[in-house]
A and B are shown apart, each in its own frame.
Chain A
Amino acid sequence: MKKTGAEILIECLIKEGVDTIFGYPGGAVLPIYDALFKAPIKHILVRHEQGGVHAADGYARASGKVGVCLVTSGPGATNTVTGIATAYMDSIPLVILTGQVPTAMIGNDAFQEADIVGITRPCTKHNYLVRDINDLSTIIKEAFYIASTGKPGPVLIDLPKDVMAASTIFKYPEKVHIRGYQPTYEGHIGQVKKASDALMAAKRPILFIGGGIILSSAYKELLELSEFTHTPVTTTLMGLGGFPSDHPLSLGMCGMHGTFSSNMALTNTDLIIGIGARFDDRVTGKVDEFATGAKIVHIDIDPTSISKNIPAHIPIVGDAKDVLKKLIGLLKKEKKNWKKDNQEWLNQVEEWKVTHPLSYKQGKNIIKPQYVIEQIHEVTKGEAIITTEVGQNQMWTAQYYKFKRPRTLLTSGGLGTMGYGFPAAIGAQVAFPDKIVFDIAGDGSIQMNIQELATAVQYRLPVKVAILNNSFLGMVRQWQELFYNKRYSYSCMECQPDFVKLAEAYGAVGLRVENPDDVKKALKEAIEIPKPVLIDFIVDREENVYPMVPAGKPISEMLLV
């Protein structure tokens, strides 16, 4: 039986296990929306396509499944670009379906035409323009395969209107084979042996983990490796949740706003085992002075990540889970008293932890933003899914919410996209209707995708937003205070909406908290309300995030409170 392109698309999505898509209709995708009308797929109508991609991204990060977003041609497609770039930088599996003008009109500057394949080439893992309906099912199959395997990432499929309206006999490809795409999962055992030898010989080893631990579900293996060898663990922003923060071997986050102990340990270590982390500049600080005395083992599924920023002595291409299993296997055959041999190093690390913990002082009158986050941690028992915006709110969340589990922190690490957190929270809530989902926001960032309040209300998604309202673009102001002599050039938001009324206008609930004593009560109240709640916490306006490594300095040179 013949099916239309749109019907084939929907059928393929169902076969890929897609049960939810985030989308926004328009002329070029009308045939697809028509096919969707009766399909057993939930469609969440967002209020802006950027929100749609971030929501699909939040859904993917929280659940581990591929997130799907559907938008129209031209402006619908271009509105997705920031969302796609955000997912690309953090290696999040997404399939973005964009409408396109009919094939005969492509290239003619037709109404609502944009070369979205050209525009997104550098920020997708791969992308396609479907020119022939007979290629459609193969392309969809390939897109999901590419998005979710190897180092995951967003894949875009551009769908001309005439291809969606045409019809053909539907054949579903059961298998994919792409000769130019064969990710390496298995770590080379010879290289793993070298890593094992290096760890045996090291006196001051450290495990340095990134988002790859979470993407490869290597959480248990990492815990076992760390505990078996008594090796401390530091994480990047993306790695948070990959190792329990309350574990004695956890040093917390490293880098620009990392803990003193993490940055000192990375500076003084003789062996870094980097796993699923790309050693980016927010982590390394001044590259020439990064871990100068250390041997570097770098485990990553993406060969281009290895030795890109910091040369690796022992590169291992492979899936973190596979490599860690092999490494643990080899180490268990060896005789070594790990605890005794690492004790001196662990004592040193502990001393850094104890002498320089993260700290702030909550007084009687003004709410400290860090306090709000600690209270969110407490009332949610560390079990919530937390999303963040970008700025101080993001860094304090990374520092003060003690993440225990993978996929509980959803944050735009690589691109640093303000406006990510709220739609991502919506996506996470769609994936987990019964979990508590909090977006920890700044008053600037929340306004970048505030329109999604309507989406949350429409679909009865009880997401909570905690605005740390300092009436500043806080992180910008912090840099201006520290490095530009307090010239607060255009970083003060002089006109802000009344967030409580705004929430109410959308049909959500708004709360305002100005007193430290009321923080906990308000949070508990918000959690009890089965609706989206926006809480406007009026916080200390000029609080700074510390420690801070000034840009371009080695990470041992931290500004402390």
Chain B
Amino acid sequence: MRHTISVLVENKFGVLSRIAGLFSGRGFNIESLSVAESLDPNVSRMTIVTRGDDRVIEQVTKQLNKLVDVIKVIDHTEEKFVGRELALIKINAEPQLREEILRIAEIFRGKVVDVSSKTYTVEVTGDEEKVEAFIEMLKPLGIKEIARTGKIAMSRG
């Protein structure tokens, strides 16, 4: 099963490599990972999406907790949480397609953030399904490039 895990870590040199090394060294997989400073500038927040059966996930969370630089581990899977990701999609924008792109973007509350003579770059945020659906809709028009953040997550309430 897929799990979304938030990890609060000391904002120190080398922490990312400790976490990445833990996953690779023990054969756990990382589907996505995003990291940035949290409210407290000494603390970074990582969101890791990983996959495994209960035993694997139990080991993942225990091993994360064991790292000295890890302050807190929250597995969101057992609770209600908000998960979001952001995607930038660069798409063919021949004159006859522009109308269609804008319409699809509007449905998904996407925003055109860059325009050139041949391409539009559209930004969309949402949960994974929404981002996937958006990309699917745009595919027939000719996507040139995609950049996606990993998921970030927060418990509800």
Which of A's residues lie within 8 Å of B, judged by CB? Answer: 117-118, 121-122, 125-126, 129, 131, 146, 178-181, 302-304, 307-308, 311
Name which residue of chain B comes closest to A127, CB basis. B14
Which B residues are in CB contact (< 8 Å) with A122? 21, 25
Q: A121-B21, A180-B70, A180-B71 are in contact. List 13 more A-B contacts (CB 8 A).
A: A117-B14, A121-B18, A126-B68, A129-B14, A131-B13, A146-B68, A179-B71, A180-B69, A302-B66, A303-B62, A303-B65, A304-B59, A304-B62
- Quote the shortest CB–CB distance from B66 to chain A (angstroms): 6
A308 and B59 form a contact (CB under 8 A): yes
Which A residues are in CB contact (< 8 Å) with B67? 180
Name which residue of chain A comes closest to B65, CB basis. A303
> CB within 8 Å of A: which of B73-106?
none
A308 to B70 alpha-carbon distance, docked (Å): 20
Which A residues are in CB contact (< 8 Å) with B59? 304, 308
A122 to B14 alpha-carbon distance, docked (Å): 13
A-B contact pairs, 8 of them (CB 8 A): A118-B14, A122-B21, A122-B25, A129-B14, A180-B68, A180-B69, A304-B59, A304-B63
Which B residues are in CB contact (< 8 Å) with A181? 68
B25 and A178 form a contact (CB under 8 A): no
A121 and B17 form a contact (CB under 8 A): yes
A5 to B69 alpha-carbon distance, docked (Å): 24
| Interface assignment of B118: CB less than 8 Å from any CB of chain A | no
Name which residue of chain B comes closest to A303, CB basis. B62
- Our pick among A117, A129, A304, A307 for the contact of B66 (Cβ within 8 Å) is A304
A239 to B156 alpha-carbon distance, docked (Å): 47
| Interface assignment of B10: CB less than 8 Å from any CB of chain A | yes
> CB within 8 Å of A: which of B1-32?
9-10, 13-14, 17-18, 21, 25
Which A residues are in CB contact (< 8 Å) with B9? 180
Closest 4 CB pairs of A and B: A304-B62, A126-B68, A180-B71, A181-B68
Name which residue of chain A comes closest to B24, CB basis. A122
A179 to B69 alpha-carbon distance, docked (Å): 8
Which B residues are in CB contact (< 8 Å) with A180? 9-10, 67-71
Q: Which of A121, A180, A307 has the most CB of B within 10 A?
A: A180
Given A304-B59, A307-B55, A311-B55: A118 touches B65 (CB 8 Å cut-off)? no
- Quote the shortest CB–CB distance from B28 to chain A (angstroms): 12
Q: Which of A121, A304, A308 has the most CB of B within 10 A?
A: A304
Which A residues are in CB contact (< 8 Å) with B66? 302-304
Which B residues are in CB contact (< 8 Å) with A118? 14, 17
Which B residues are in CB contact (< 8 Å) with A117? 14
Q: Which of A117, A121, A129 has the most CB of B within 10 A?
A: A121
A307 and B58 form a contact (CB under 8 A): yes
Name which residue of chain A comes closest to B70, CB basis. A180
Which B residues are in CB contact (< 8 Å) with A178? 68
Which B residues are in CB contact (< 8 Å) with A146? 68
A117 to B13 alpha-carbon distance, docked (Å): 11
A117 to B12 alpha-carbon distance, docked (Å): 14
Which A residues are in CB contact (< 8 Å) with B14? 117-118, 121, 129
